[in-house]
Amino acid sequence: MNDQLQSFLTQLEAKKRYSNNTIAAYRNDLTQFITFLNGRLSSEQTLATVEKADLDAYIKMLIDKPYASSSVARKVAAVKSFFNHLTKTKVIGENPTTHIKSPKVKKRPPQALSPEDIDLLLNVTTGKQTPKNLRDTALLRILYATGMRVTEVVSLSVNDLNLEEATLSCTGKEGKHRLLPYDKVTMAALELYLEDGRSSLLKLQKEDALFLNHRGQQLTRQGLWLIIKAYAKAAGLEKTVTPHTLRHSFAAHKVAAGDDLHDIQHLLGHANISTTQIYTHD
Please state, for a pLDDT cut of 70, what percent of the chain lies above it.
96
pLDDT, tens digit, for every residue of 12-33?
887 777 778 888 889 999 999 9
pLDDT the model gives residue 165 = 94
Domains of the chain: total: 2
The mean pLDDT of the chain is 89
| Residue 247 falls in the annotated catalytic set | yes
Among candidate residues 173, 178, 221, 266, the one labeled active-site is 173
Kindly report the CATH number assigned to the domain that includes residue 74.
Answer: 1.10.150.130
215 is catalytic: no
Parent domain of 39: 2-88
Task: Tell me the mean pLDDT in the region 195-199.
Answer: 94
Give 197's pLDDT tier (boundaries 50, 70, 90): very high
**Is 95 part of any domain?**
no
Q: Pick the residue with more confidence: 3 or 136?
A: 136
Active site residue 244: yes
In a shared domain, residues 208 and 161 = yes
Same domain, 140 and 79: no
Strands (E), 118-231: 161-162, 167-171, 177-181
Question: What proportion of the chain, given as a percentage, has pLDDT over 90?
Answer: 54
117 and 246 Cβ atoms separated by less than 8 Å: no
* Catalytic residue from among 75, 135, 247, 248: 247
Of the pLDDT bands very low, low, confident and very high (cuts 50, 70, 90), residue 1 is confident
Q: What number of other Cβ atoms are within 10 A of residue 136's Cβ?
A: 24
Residue 67 catalytic?
A: no
- Minimum mean pLDDT range among 142-156, 228-242, 268-282: 268-282
Same domain, 75 and 191: no
Q: In what order do the strands lie in the sheet with 167-171?
A: 161-162, 167-171, 177-181
Can you give the pLDDT at residue 40? 85
Whether 182 sits among the annotated catalytic residues: the reply is no
Query: Do residue 60 and residue 133 come from a single domain?
Result: no
| Whether residue 90 lies in the annotated active site | no
Going by pLDDT thresholds of 50, 70 and 90, the confidence category of residue 109 is: low
Statement: residue 45 has pLDDT above 90: no
- Chain centroid to CA 109: 17
Any residues with CB less than 8 A from the CB of 81 and at least 6 apart, and which? 8, 26
Shared domain for 58 and 157, answered yes or no, is: no
User: Higher pLDDT residue, 101 or 271?
Assistant: 271
